[in-house]
Amino acid sequence: MAVAPLGPQGLIERVLAGEPLALARAMSWVEELDEHADALLAALFPRLGNAWRVGVAGPPGAGKSTLCCQLARSWRGRGLRVGVVAVDPSSPLSGGALLGDRIRFRDLATDPGVFIRSLASRGSLGGLSLAAGRVADVLDAAGFDVVLLETVGMGQVGEDVRDEADTTVVMLVPESGDGVQAMKAGLLELADVLVVNKMDRPGGADLLRQLALAGARAGRPAAGESQGAAPAWEVPLLGTSATSGEGLGPLSDALENHRQWLRRTHGGRAEDDVFWRRRFLRLAETMLVRNFRRRLAADAALAGTLEAVRRGERALGPLLAEILERHGGGPVAPSS
């Protein structure tokens, strides 16, 4: 059967109805920010703010996908619609990790109340985690109740995903080295809930103890914003075994507690000015950069000008000012 080309208008209705094929296409558009993405994101924007975004960060092999499956199953059991966005810069699209996830998520993959999307390492404008945020937006607007964001929580990727999530689980395992190491990497600072997974393996209990001793439970202000007199969130430290499901009940409770705490301190997402402002600015910045790049790419004179700068015949400052003036703002003509 031939599939008619679908413009943004036709797609929006189907995305909002949660149709899987429409969701997949919409996600490709927003991930790559092609020219259809602008109209789509504009239509979706007012519908954001209802999904609970739960980040799951931790080193490769920690059990993040396994945990996401378990959480997705338990939320499905309560009738919630669940999206999973897996961000793995270390695994190319055809990589084994993704294949493994597909197999693990197999029972969920046929469930219309679940949508799973993997973002691979190929370049996404504004970085992989911003692309993940936009993909989460599609699920949010389509009425998914929870969106899980799975990521290796290292460095910038981890921090960006922390910004995209309402509640972040940081997962450590005995194999990932000692907790002090993780603390140095800044991973623990991302945690709203701290989990030691693979408690069935040697070293699990030790790591848990070590983290407790190291003061991993230190509270921090909500989402880095000043909250006035609002009580600080105490980061709970929990042990799990994602494969057997041990410890998942307390983890679910801890996540729910954090969600309730967010509601008390921030109000619902729909009323949270910080959320709207942040999402708006991120989109605006990303699109500005995209448009600027497109215009630069179409500027035939640029190579010659750069060459003149390289030879010292032109000063860089005035050239930059000129290029920003010429290409900096306004819409860009759709590429043919």
Ligand X SMILES: Nc1nc2c(ncn2[C@@H]2O[C@H](COP(=O)(O)OP(=O)(O)O)[C@@H](O)[C@H]2O)c(=O)[nH]1
User: Closest separation between CB of residue 217 and Mg ion, Å?
Assistant: 27
* CA-to-CA separations, 329 to 36, 147, 257, 294, in angstroms, rounded: 19, 34, 44, 12
At 237, which helix (H) or strand (E)? Answer: strand 237-239
Binding-site member from 167, 241, 265, 286 for ligand X (CB under 6 A): 241
Query: How far apart (Å, rounded) are the C-alpha atoms in residues 316 and 306?
Result: 9
Determine phi and psi for 229, rounding to 5 degrees. Answer: -90, 5
Q: What share of the chain is helix, strand, coil (3-state, %, to 5)?
A: 55, 10, 35
60 counts as binding ligand X under rule CB under 6 A: yes
Residue (65 or 291) nearer to ligand X, CB: 65
Minimal CB distance residue for Mg ion: 65
Ranges of H-type helices in the chain:
8-16, 20-32, 37-44, 64-77, 96-104, 106-109, 128-141, 155-164, 179-184, 204-213, 248-266, 273-297, 302-310, 316-327
121 counts as binding ligand X under rule CB under 6 A: no
Q: Tell me the window of 18-26, 237-245, 270-278, 292-300 that interacts with ligand X (CB under 6 A).
A: 237-245
* CA-to-CA separations, 191 to 34, 167, 223, 290, 329, in angstroms, rounded: 33, 8, 10, 32, 38
At 105, which helix (H) or strand (E)? Answer: none
Q: Enumerate binding residues for Mg ion (CB under 5 A).
A: 64-65
User: Closest separation between CB of residue 83 and ligand X, Å?
Assistant: 17
Residue (174 or 236) nearer to ligand X, CB: 174
242 counts as binding ligand X under rule CB under 6 A: yes
Question: Which positions from 64 to 103 touch ligand X by CB under 6 A, shown as an x/- string?
Answer: xxx---------------------------------x---
Query: How far apart (Å, rounded) are the C-alpha atoms in residues 156 and 150?
Result: 15
Which of ligand X, Mg ion, none does 63 bind, CB closer than 5 to 8 A by kind? Answer: ligand X
Residue (37 or 86) nearer to ligand X, CB: 86
221 counts as binding ligand X under rule CB under 6 A: no
Query: How far apart (Å, rounded) are the C-alpha atoms in residues 208 and 83?
Result: 30
For tokens 């109340």, the residue is 113
Report the length, in residues, of the chain.
Answer: 336
Q: Tell me the window of 63-71, 130-138, 139-147, 158-166 that interacts with ligand X (CB under 6 A).
A: 63-71
Query: How far apart (Å, rounded) are the C-alpha atoms in residues 287 and 37?
Result: 10
Residue (103 or 229) nearer to ligand X, CB: 103
Residue (11 or 170) nearer to Mg ion, CB: 170
Residue (64 or 295) nearer to Mg ion, CB: 64
Binding-site member from 118, 168, 176, 197 for ligand X (CB under 6 A): 197
Residue (197 or 265) nearer to ligand X, CB: 197
Q: Tell me the window of 132-140, 182-190, 194-202, 317-325 that interacts with ligand X (CB under 6 A).
A: 194-202
Which of ligand X, Mg ion, none does 242 bind, CB closer than 5 to 8 A by kind? Answer: ligand X
Give one word for 57, left, alpha or beta, with left for phi > 0 and alpha for psi -120 to 50. beta
| Binding positions for ligand X, rule: CB under 6 A | 58, 60-66, 100, 197-198, 200-201, 241-243
